[in-house]
Amino acid sequence: MLLLATDTSGKHGSIALARGNSDGSCNVIEVVPLAGGTFSAQLVPQIADLLAHHGFSKSDIGAFVVASGPGSFTGLRVGLAAIKALSEIVGKPIAALSLLEGIALSGGVQGKVAAVLDAGRGEVYVGEYEVAGHSAKVLSEDLLTKEEAWGRVQSSRVITSDRVLAEVARAAGLTTSLIEPVDAGKLADVGWRKIGSGDTVSSEELEANYIRRSDAEIFAKNRH
């Protein structure tokens, strides 16, 4: 099955074409990087170019994989809107992934793990999972200060793609794995396993997983 995967959650994004196989494996055909700040202008044309380059059209897509968060509000809205529209047009399902889950599963570690991403403002996104085989059971996903995070994950192996966070976690005495950044190609692999188990949503059901409240929500709460 042909998969289209997208990640517009961070400063930089990516899209990927991949082939999901009946044995559960996934072969990435190509990953195309997207420069941050221009997702709204780049995403749809880049998807069209990627499909055309490999001799496909949107009707060949069998399923979609998308990073649903956490991350940039604007970036996530752009990415999810594009996948919603394409899914509605071709009538194919979507595997929505937390980027934290992708990090947790990319660490190659079994048992209790904590995926950590820099959230700015002195905070981090922390996803705690119980990893068994190629699946991850969500224990929690939160936005925490770094101090709160290191206290929370004492019994877990920390997995991150951020070198600075890895160094800080190790300095705090935590067992830590530094991995390569998770791009759309790696998300396609995780998403294919979700698709195989029926863990998908329709275009109407697809929602962002921001974890952090928007500034508008924070300011509105502070006014009351």
| Domain shared by 31 and 57, yes or no | yes
Rounded distance between C-alpha atoms, residue 21 and residue 5, angstroms: 15
Q: Is the pLDDT of residue 220 over 70?
A: no
**Average pLDDT score, the chain:** 92
What total number of domains does the chain contain? 2
Q: Is the pLDDT of residue 155 over 90?
A: yes
- Partner residues linked to 128 by β-bridges: 114, 140
Residue 130 resides in a domain = yes
Q: Is the pLDDT of residue 213 over 90?
A: no
Residue 222 resides in a domain = no
Summary count for the chain: helices (H), strands (E): 7, 10
Q: How confident is the model at residue 37 (pLDDT cuts 50, 70, 90)?
A: confident
| Domain shared by 127 and 21, yes or no | no
Residue 219 resides in a domain = no
Q: What are the structure tokens assigned to 208, written together?
A: 């962002």
| Domain shared by 59 and 9, yes or no | yes
CATH number of domain containing 32: 3.30.420.40
Q: Is the pLDDT of residue 3 over 80?
A: yes
| Domain shared by 131 and 194, yes or no | no
| Domain shared by 145 and 46, yes or no | no
What mean pLDDT do residues 219-224 have?
A: 42
Residue 223 resides in a domain = no
Instruction: Tokens 């752009």: give the residue.
Output: 78
User: Are 127 and 140 in contact, with CB atoms under 8 Å apart?
Assistant: yes
Burial class (CB in 10 A: 0-12, 13-18, 19+), 116: buried
Given phi > 0 = left and psi -120 to 50 = alpha, else beta, which region is 150? alpha
What mean pLDDT do residues 13-22 have?
A: 97
| Domain shared by 173 and 187, yes or no | no
Burial class (CB in 10 A: 0-12, 13-18, 19+), 214: exposed
Residue 221 resides in a domain = no
Boundaries of domain holding 82: 2-98+182-214
pLDDT of residue 214: 43
Q: How confident is the model at residue 212 (pLDDT cuts 50, 70, 90)?
A: low
| Domain shared by 46 and 123, yes or no | no
